[in-house]
Structure 1
Amino acid sequence: MYNSYLSNNILQSIGVLTSLKRLILSNTGLIGPLPNKGWCDLWNVEELDLSENELEGSIPSCFSNLISLQFMDISDNGIEVASSFDSFANSLDREPTFQARTNSPKLQLKLLSMANCKTKGLIQESPNFLYYQYDLRYIDLSDNNFGGHNPSWLLENNTRLQQFLVAGSSFKGPLRLPKQANVDMFEVDMSADISSF
C-alpha cells in the first residue's frame, strides 16, 4: 500500500490479519498516535514499514509481543524514539553491555530504522531496548539528536552488523570498535548534521 492514502481506521482493525507476514504502510498519509489495540495480534508479522507518515507518540508496548518481527522502519515520523521502547525492556537490568541471551527479550530485530523522527531537544541516551538486541544487521538512528556516550556497545553486541548509521547525533567520547573484527560491516556514518553549524 506504499504511496497511497489510507485512513487511520486501518490501524485499528489490522489485528484481524493474524497470518500477515509483511505490512508496508509507508507514505500513506497516516496521522496521529498508533492505537494500542490490534497490533498485539500480529504474531506472524516479520516486516513492518510505517515510514514517511505523520505518526506521533510512542510505539505501543504490545509491539514486544511481535516475536516474529525482524524488520521495522518507523523513520520520518513524529514518534518519540526516546520513550517508545522503554516498556520492551522494563523488566531487565539497564546496562549498556552485552546481556545474556537468556535474559533478552524474545523480539530480536535484524533491521531497525528510526531516522528523522522529529525529536525535540537533545536525547541523552539511546533507547534502552537496544541494549538487548544482538542480531541487528542494519540500524539507522540518524537525525534524532541523540547525545550521551557513543553507543560502542551496539557494535560489540551485534557482531553481524553491516550498516551503523547515526549521522546528525551529538555523541561524546571515542567510538570503541569491537575486539573481534566484523568482516560484514561496510558502512558507518557518524557525520555531523550540517544544519547545526
Structure 2
Amino acid sequence: MAIEHDIIQLKGLERSPSLNNLENLDLSYNLFNNDIWSFLQRLPSLKTLYMINLNVTVQSRDLHNLTNVENLFLDYATLSNDFLPSIQVMTSLKVLSLQRCGLTGTLPSTEFDQTLVGGPSFQLIGIHLSDREFGNVDKTSSTGAFPNFLYYQKDLQKVELSRVNFKGTFPNWLLDNNTRLVTLLLPNNSFTGPFQLPLLPKTGLLALDISKNHFYGNIPENIAMAFPGLEFLNMSLNDFGGTIASSLGDMSSLRVLVLSNNQLSVKYRTTWQWVASS
C-alpha cells in the first residue's frame, strides 16, 4: 500500500505545471520507481536534490536531465562504476555525495582525459565517496587510482573518501590544488609510504583523518607548520614509527589527536606530557 501511495503522489506532481521555480527537493527514503526521472526533467530551476536510499536505479543517461543541479546526494544508491565518468554532463555540480553506494571493481582514472579537453566543466566544493559496507574493505579488490576529475578540482572545501581502497602515496596535491580545503578525511584505504606534507602551509585546514591506511616512517617534525589551524587529527592504525614529533605541542588549535595503534615511542617524556596537555 505504501508503494501505491508514493506512485500516486508522483503522478500528481508530474501533472503540475507550477514547479518551474522549485530549487530544493528531498525525495529520500521513499519507494518511487524509475518514473521519477521523467518528473525530475521537468524541474528547470532545481539546484539541490536529495535521493538518499531510494528504490531506483541510477543510470548515466538519467544525469542528462540534471544539468542545472548543483548539490546531488545519492547516498546508499547502487551504482555501477561507469557512473563517475557520466557526471561530466552535470556542468553545474558543486557537491556530490555517494556515501556507501556499493561501487566495486576499478574506479575510472582515464575517462575524463579521453572525453574532455582541459578537464571536466564542473568545479566541486565537496565530495563524499565511500563503499556501502560497514565492515572492512576488501584489500584485494582492484580499486586503486583516484578518478582523474579530482586532479582538476580547485574549489574543494570538504573531501571524504573512505573505505574505497584507494592506493598510492598521500595525495598532498589535493591540498596544494584546493587552497580553501577545510576537511580532508581519507580513512580506511590502502595509502602507503611516508606521510608527505603539502608544499605550502594550509592555514584553513581544520580536520585531517588518514587513519587505517599503511603509512610508515616518522611523523614529519614540521607538521605543525604545515597545518597550523588543525583542530582534529587522526593518524591511528598505520605503521608510523620513531618518536612523536615534538612540534605537535605547537598546534595550539588542536582539540582531538589520535595516534593509537602505530609503532611510536617517546624520546623525551617531558615533551610528551606537554603535547598531551595542549
TM-score (norm 1): 0.80
Cα offset, 1:91, TM superposition: 5.0
Name the SS for the 1:55 alignment partner.
Answer: coil
Q: Flag the 1:61–1:91 CA change in 2: closer, same or farther, 3 A.
A: closer
Aligned length: 184
Q: Name the residue aligned to 2:258.
A: none
Q: Name the residue aligned to 2:47.
A: 21
- Alpha-carbon distance in structure 1 between the residues aligned to 2:48 and 2:82: 21
Note the aligned Cα RMSD (angstroms).
Answer: 2.7
Letter in 1 for 2:52: S
**Contact 1:19–1:43 under 8 Å retained in 2:** no
- Alpha-carbon distance in structure 1 between the residues aligned to 2:183 and 2:204: 9
Q: Deviations over 1:84-123 (max 9, x none)?
A: 5643333579xxxxxxxxx342211001111125676152
**Contact 1:58–1:81 under 8 Å retained in 2:** no
Name the SS for the 1:153 alignment partner.
Answer: helix
User: Which of these two proteins has the greater Rg computed from alpha carbons?
Assistant: 2
Q: Name the residue aligned to 2:88.
A: 64
Q: Name the residue aligned to 1:105.
A: 120
Q: Name the residue aligned to 1:37.
A: 61
Q: Give % identity.
A: 30
Q: How does 1:45-60 map to 2 (within 5 A)?
A: 45-59=69-83
Which ranges in structure 2 are unaligned for 5 or more consecutive residues? 1-26, 214-236, 238-260, 262-278
Tell which has more relative contact order, 1 or 2 (C-alpha 8 A, sep 6+). 1
Given the alignment, which residue of 170, 177, 180 partners 1:150? Answer: 170
Name the SS for the 1:89 alignment partner.
Answer: helix
Q: Name the residue aligned to 1:79.
A: 103
Report which stretch shifted further, 128-137 or 83-92.
Answer: 83-92
Q: Flag the 1:12–1:172 CA change in 2: closer, same or farther, 3 A.
A: farther
**Contact 2:109–2:146 under 8 Å retained in 1:** no
Given the alignment, which residue of 92, 108, 114 partners 2:129? Answer: 114
- Alpha-carbon distance in structure 1 between the residues aligned to 2:175 and 2:124: 15
Q: Flag the 1:171–1:62 CA change in 2: closer, same or farther, 3 A.
A: closer
Name the SS for the 2:168 alignment partner.
Answer: coil
Report which stretch shifted further, 119-128 or 173-182.
Answer: 119-128
**Contact 1:47–1:71 under 8 Å retained in 2:** yes
- Alpha-carbon distance in structure 2 between the residues aligned to 1:147 and 1:172: 7
**Contact 2:123–2:155 under 8 Å retained in 1:** yes
Given the alignment, which residue of 165, 170, 173 partners 2:190? Answer: 170
Which ranges in structure 1 are unaligned for 5 or more consecutive residues? 94-102
Letter in 2 for 1:71: V
Aligned structure 1 segments of 4 or more residues deviating by more than 6 angstroms: none
Q: Name the residue aligned to 1:8.
A: 34
TM-score (norm 2): 0.58
Q: Name the residue aligned to 1:100.
A: none
